[in-house]
Amino acid sequence: MISCILKTKSKVFFAFLFALVVSFGAIAQEQASEQAEVATKGVEPGATQGATTDATPAGDPAVIDAGEALFKNNCVVCHSAGSDVIVGPGLQGITQKRNEAWLIKWIKNSQALISAGDKDAIAVYNEYNKQAMPSFAFSDDEIKSILAYVESGKGVVSAPVAGPEGATAGENVGTDAIGAVGGYLDIILVVLIVVLIVLVVTLLLITSLLKNYLNKNRKLDEYDSEIVNQRFDFSKIYKSKAVRTLVVLIFVVVLLDLTIDKVMGIGIQQGYAPKQPIAFSHKLHAGEHQINCNYCHSTVYESKSASIPSANICMNCHSQIKTESPEIQKIYRAIERNRPIEWVRIHNLPDLSYFNHSQHTQVGGVECQTCHGPIEEMDVVYQYSPLTMGWCIDCHRETPLNTEGNEYYDNLVELHESTSKGAFTVSSNGGTECSKCHY
């Protein structure tokens, strides 16, 4: 008898336990992914500034900043400021290696230098697969500022990392601390759960022991035995009117919620991950090989569209690398047939809304991942954010404006601080008005 009771009880109990474990697991996972995000953010250029500025050698910070802007807009697609090779060589220590006059000549027109028979130039050209460096119409001062930036070591990124422990120190200390606190809480919770489970099990064992003892060793009168061997009547519960009403109510509410959820979700393609004509992996390119987003999506800092790379950008590397892969062969075929590759568009904003990448990336300093999610972990890209108006507005209401060093905002920040205590958010500068996105 008792075993039967126990059985049902334990079923309910185990179900409860399972639910607990699952939900805690989910929480833990969420936290883990947050940490992963912190880690990836840590390696983005710019975010590491705090860590390395101490090492900045003497030099006008304004010049270096100017150089940084130029470098990021023009050079990063082929060069890192460190030592790793992207297309062209890493530029760390370039100012020691070559003299400035030569560098200026080279940057302005490398082909002229090569055809003039400069030995160094030819050597570099041959070393890097005869990839011609395009000419840049910089002034001498601009080139010097870029060199100053390279020299400053500001852009040097510490070794690429994959885990949370790799997060660079400095700016990210705060977020790390939050992560650590989260870890302690987890442990305490788990310990508590274990203690509770032990308690419950012990109590159950005690009841069954006591019951067995009473039944076997004591003569109980009718009344007592009835109490001891009482069987829980479940039918009473599910036959009760209150319970039934409650269940129906819950059912209706859940159904309604689901319906509303689904209806509101019409047209929202969150999680949309269509099959692409070429199985391009962002995980491989952006994740493992650490290719800057800007290398392929070359207009992301300049234009309203981030632009999907044209086949000639793929060819910068794939004219040499993995030429045998059937997926790469598809690019060759496209070029041979002179027909562009028709990718499936994942992020479909309606025509009535205007979105500008450069406004968010260059001016706002928003990371790609903020909207596109952990793109460097995606083998197949999916739509990470809902891209609904509510989602846009939420961010505009909460995000403080990236006003530092931007003369545009100088007076506005002062004005805002004199009249309001809250953060100077996008929306406090009119960022939630209709005509900011709809025209």
Partner 1 sequence: MQDRIKYWKGIEELNNTPEFAKNAHNEFPEFLPLDEAKGEGSSSNGKTQRRDFLKLLGFSMAAVSLASCEAPVRKAIPYLNKPVDVEPGVANWYASTYYLNGDYNSILVKTREGRPIKIEPNPSSSVTPYGTSSRAQASVLGVYDNNRLRFPLIKGKEAKWEDIDKQIASRLSAVNGKVAFVSSTIISPSTKQLIEEFGSRFGNFEHVTYDVNSSSALLAANGGVVPGYDFSKANIIVSIGADFLGTWGAPIPFAKQYIQNRKIDADNPTMSRHYQFETILSMTGANADIRVPIKPSEEAAVVTAMYNAIAGGSAASTNVGDAKALAAAIKDLQANKGKALVVSGSNDPGVQAMVTAINSALGAEGTTIDSASPYFTKQGNDAQMIRLINEMNAGSVGAVFFYNTNPVYDHPLADKVVSGLQKVGLKVSFADRVDETASLAEFVTPDHHYLESWNDFEPKRGFLSIAQPVISPIFTTRQMQDSLLKWSGNNTNFYEYIRNNWRKVATGDFNKFWEKAVHDGVLENGSSMLKVSAPTTAATTTVRTVKPTGVEAVLYEKVSIGSGAEANNPWLQELPDPVSKATWGNYIAMPIKMAEEMGVTQGDVIAISLANGKTIELPALIQPGQANGTVGIAMGYGREIESAPVAKGLGANAFPVAAVVDNGISYSSSVQLKKTDATSPIAQTQTHHTIMDRLVVQENTLANYKSNPKEVTEYIRIATHEGPAKPAAISLWDDYEYKNHHWGMVIDLNSCIGCGACTVSCNVENNIPVVGKAEVLNRREMHWMRIDRYYSAVEHEAKDYATMENPAENPSVIFQPMLCQHCNHAPCETVCPVAATMHSSEGINQMAYNRCVGTRYCANNCPYKVRRFNWFAYANNDKFNFNEPMNNDLGKMVLNPDVTVRARGVMEKCSFCVQRVQLGKLEAKRENRRPKDGEIVTACAQSCPTEAIIFGDMKDSESRISKILARQNGERAFHVLEELNVQPNVTYLTKIRNLA
- Name the residues that contact partner 1, by CB under 8 A: 134, 266-267, 269, 272, 274, 298-299, 302-305, 307-313, 334-335, 338-345, 348, 351-352, 354, 356, 358-359, 362-363, 405-408, 412, 415-416, 429-430, 433-436, 438-439
- CB of residue 177 vs partner 1: minimum separation in angstroms? 33
Tokens of 235: 């039918």
* CB nearer to partner 1: pick between 290 and 298: 298
* CB nearer to partner 1: pick between 31 and 388: 388
Tokens of 279: 């199985």
* CB nearer to partner 1: pick between 40 and 316: 316
- CB of residue 172 vs partner 1: minimum separation in angstroms? 26
- CB of residue 5 vs partner 1: minimum separation in angstroms? 50
* CB nearer to partner 1: pick between 370 and 429: 429
> Exposure of 362 by Cβ count < 10 A (0-12 exposed, 13-18 middle, 19+ buried)?
middle
- CB of residue 281 vs partner 1: minimum separation in angstroms? 18
- CB of residue 406 vs partner 1: minimum separation in angstroms? 5
Q: Please, what is the Cα angle at 297 between 285 and 74, to 5 degrees?
A: 105
Could you say which DSSP state residue 359 is in?
A: I
SS3 425: strand
- CB of residue 62 vs partner 1: minimum separation in angstroms? 11
* CB nearer to partner 1: pick between 3 and 338: 338
**Residues with Cβ within 8 Å of residue 322, at least 6 apart in sequence:** 328
Residue 400 φ/ψ, nearest 5 degrees: -70, 145
* CB nearer to partner 1: pick between 99 and 348: 348
* CB nearer to partner 1: pick between 232 and 439: 439
Number of C-beta neighbours around residue 158 at 10 A:
14
Residue 172 φ/ψ, nearest 5 degrees: -85, 5
Residue 135 φ/ψ, nearest 5 degrees: -85, 145
Could you say which DSSP state residue 215 is in?
A: H
Spatial separation of the C-alpha atoms in residues 121 and 113, rounded to whole Å: 6
- CB of residue 416 vs partner 1: minimum separation in angstroms? 8
Number of C-beta neighbours around residue 340 at 10 A:
11
